[in-house]
Amino acid sequence: MFRKVLTGHLFVLGLAILLSSVLLSVMLENLLIKQKAREMREWAQPLAKQLKQEKQIPLAFLRRLEPLLERSRVDLLVFDKEGKPLYPSGSTVAKPLRLPSAMQARVAGGGRLEGTGKWGGKQVTWALVPIGGKQREGWVFLYSPVEGLRKVMAHVRVSLMVAGSLALVASFAVSIGMTRHLVRRLQGLQEGTKRIQAGEYSFRLSVAKVDDEIDALAVDFNEMAMRLEQTQQELRLHEERRQQFLFDLSHELRTPLTSLRGWLEALGQGWVENAQLPSTYARMEKETKRLIRLIHELMDIEKIQAGKVELVKERADLTELIDLVVEQLMPLADAKGLTLQAECAGAIPIYADLDRILQVLLNLTKNAIQFTDRGEVVVRAYATSSETVIQVADTGIGMTEEESRRIWDRFFKADPARMKQESETGLGLAIVKQLVEAHEGDIQVESQPGKGTCFTLSLPLPSFGQKDV
């Protein structure tokens, strides 16, 4: 690539310098010739006027004029009206020449003529001015060989070639630097691509500022690498969670199944006395229900994550839903000597799937009662212009900062001993979080060990007021 880019640069630059030199040389030569012809015409006009006033050729005047003309490499001829030479001058013409009739015709009517052409076997620049205007009493003819101009142009061409060569050398040096810099940048992108391909997703290209398309490409490359790194981390985390999930699931299934197998074996061997049969069957039924609940909750989580749970949202009064939760769980709170109360000021609008939100509130409130030995559990709610906020607070055992981060994980149990006693699966809060996010809402937890826990649930609220509830 370096050779191709450099060759392309040099070819374009060389062609541009060559064309510029040729065009400049031609234009300059034409300009000098025209300037010389114009200069001779300006000399010929006053001379023709002077000759018109004289009765005869002023030889003395013309001889005094010859040194000036010679210094300018200009020769003078004076013709009569028939085109016959009256005064030859200089040594550039071996013998007097007759003014061509074609040239006379071109200046008919008193016009002037100037140009280049053959005269006396040489290429000259000339100017022809009539004496006497339209009467054409004769002509003043000045001419100058172009050899001098061509010598000047030869020097000019040499100078242009030298300047072009220097420019080409300078361009070559600049092109080498620019091409190498460009190639190094592209090689950096190539190296980065190889490292990303090798799995080094943490690799980043150095980009100080975006000055051109390659810098923009480097920025896009870094963005791609960052997203690939994030995806890799998410996949790794997902795999770790999957393995942990399978481990936890096998553990959760093993415990009740082992118990059921033991009791069935005891019943089959006749080891259980008749008086113990009712309690044995009750334990087997409890473990069976635990297995069924575990399977249902797992299926629920998978459906929510797969987006297969269709939410039927409607407008409602949240106060009625909270009253229903308090009414259902009041016996459980009374059994532990706890105060369970709702704090709602009037009707509170909510827009959600009421069955799913009831499931969320029952789970949070039941957990609060379960982990509170004394004190109270409060369910409060209020609405703003954009969202409905629900809080479930207790004065229970609380959680550490690490436990607060992990409670949303499947099968995580902040107090495994207590959870086992209550025959819980450790999937409740994972389902709660999934359902809240399915509603495009948010749930946060604040907790301190020994002081209690508060769950705050926020659900988006469309633009309708309490009068629409």
Cα-based distances in Å from 261 to 53, 74, 258: 146, 131, 5
What does CATH list as the number for 2-154? 3.30.450.20
The CATH architecture one would assign to domain 213-303 is Orthogonal Bundle (1.10)
Q: Where in the chain is CATH 1.10.287.130?
A: 213-303
Give the amino acid at 240.
E
Q: Which of 453, 455, 458 is nearest to 376 (CA)?
A: 453
Q: In the sheet that 138-145 helps form, which strands lie side by side, from edge to edge?
A: 85-88, 75-80, 138-145, 122-131, 113-119
CB 358 within 8 A of CB 312: no
Give the pLDDT confidence score for residue 156 in this predicted structure. Answer: 74
Q: Where in the chain is CATH 3.30.450.20?
A: 2-154
The rounded distance, in Å, linking the Cα atoms of 363 and 349 is 21
CB-side exposure of 85: number of CA atoms within 13 Å?
Answer: 13
Q: Where in the chain is CATH 3.30.565.10?
A: 311-468
pLDDT in tens, the chain (469 residues): 556 666 766 677 777 777 777 777 778 777 777 777 788 887 887 887 877 777 667 777 777 777 878 777 888 888 777 777 777 654 444 344 566 666 666 666 555 677 777 766 777 787 888 787 666 677 788 888 777 666 777 777 777 777 777 877 777 777 777 777 777 878 888 888 888 888 888 888 887 787 777 788 888 888 888 888 888 888 887 777 667 666 666 766 777 788 888 888 888 888 888 888 888 888 888 888 777 877 776 676 666 666 666 788 899 999 999 999 999 999 999 999 999 999 988 889 999 988 889 889 998 999 999 999 999 999 999 999 899 999 999 999 999 888 888 887 766 655 554 444 444 556 778 888 888 988 899 999 999 998 999 999 999 998 654 444 4
The rounded distance, in Å, linking the Cα atoms of 324 and 220 is 54
What does CATH list as the number for 311-468? 3.30.565.10
Give the amino acid at 392.
V
The rounded distance, in Å, linking the Cα atoms of 407 and 413 is 7
Name the pTM for this structure: 0.46
